[in-house]
Structure 1
């Protein structure tokens, strides 16, 4: 990589100097109102972020710039020693430098709306009753970026697992615990420093983001797909099913004829190419746009790894066909994929007559907000 990947926050450009990606939200962390039926308990407000021993522990300490994990601290309020305490300055991991984004939380709720109401997972409660109030509470947050502090809530050093936890007493921490759904939600943290600063001396910021497992996002939700399959059975009489299958085969053939090479891997063997929909097939069917579902312009010929990157929203393209890389993957992952997200002359596709589909992908499938990508 020639330099750091960048992101724009409040009109300020930041380097992504490090990241922790895709920590699953355990049921034990989830607010009690969202817990799965198979589990009991109220949920704990501390979030697991790794182990604080060995090589992984060193990496976690360097990431948070905190090296006192698992030690006893003094709780001023309770006047006793404890293994975590927000009142002890030695237990503070980061003081006011962490933040959630309102737009990210709203996007998460939009992605999770179908699961809130269809409930593919089995919950203790009917979680649909909470959705509208939670969405409104996020909308009413006073700031686009809500800052908070975190402190060490780790297992003490006498315990063999040495699990590292963080916790916060700020209101935004409570709110995100109430929003997210267990097992299918993930946390990623970006460590940021301003581009126009000395990285070695400038105090970093930590951008906390939540996302939903791809299969549970509203437009590809399992329950939604089941409804769409039934819909296809209804709208296509038995006599036309063969013609429909022929249409799908024709779609793949036309996509690959129009785009005979994966722009990333340069593979031309059509046996190894996927005709990847730009606007998802399920959305086209749901909107009664079978014409779009079988339109070869609504497709890209990609080899499997890059098909997955595009299909699940890690990358997208501008209307001019320029590659846009999101910030959900680590620098080492981009390097192993053979993609430089910081390249001045990024790889392009030929986007003729695809702008409507590409616009949908950027708005609804791409995991990042395009306005923040530099």
Structure 2
């Protein structure tokens, strides 16, 4: 066994986990009695929105956020890449979604070559985005008192009505110039995807990507952001239990040098003898998630090594900035699946 593996590999598993209900694992600001709870959980089940501590129900939606949500809703790829806009660099996390949404004619930029990602989205804008994203063609006469044929969003609003994507406000208005909140956008998107109020939210497994689990750079930041339940604190490590990571809850050991985060080690025991095919499938799930966050790796390899009576799976994934992600599983003697993510400049 390579000596450097000892420095890099800690423990993590994707197997034998019990699904956890969305009611008690996701979004502190979206309790089951929240008006748009069903719609938000519906989008979470489909990966349109992702788990985090709060949903931000009252936060106004930007053009960038709208592009990301719509692109996910219609199944477009979001790998960061070059865009046609001077203000959306390829290094921006949303760049792939923005460019994909533009290529599908869901959303467009401005004549000056900008996208203005921080600009706010109105209900009228969203009507256009939904019609173009979901390619809605059926039309119905509009009865909203504030939407006439001269209203810019008129041709799009009348295409939302047949699908019951919008019914307007109780006072008979649509309010096309009103900015949208995240909760309101969730309702629009859920209805466009076929959600109805009599649907019951299904159990949802948290799906946090690896980079989002590296919360904070110092011990104080990590504790403040609370990734799971803090069970032990030492001078150079913080240990959390019940940490959501992809489709599981694990133990996470945050390692610091001079109060700066250098590595996060994830651990989970495997409760039964795993098979090669199962482990290979799980490795592919992890590499897909890592690639979605970090981009294509410089190196990725999966190897089986037999040492005595045991077989070991070593799954190595290196990304271009020299961060190391290395997995391994002890099949018999130590039935645990492990992963570590090291920050650049350490353990090289």
TM-score range (shorter-chain normalised) is under 0.3
Task: Normalising by structure 1, report the TM-score.
Answer: 0.24
Task: Normalising by structure 2, report the TM-score.
Answer: 0.25
Higher normalized helix content (fraction of residues): 1
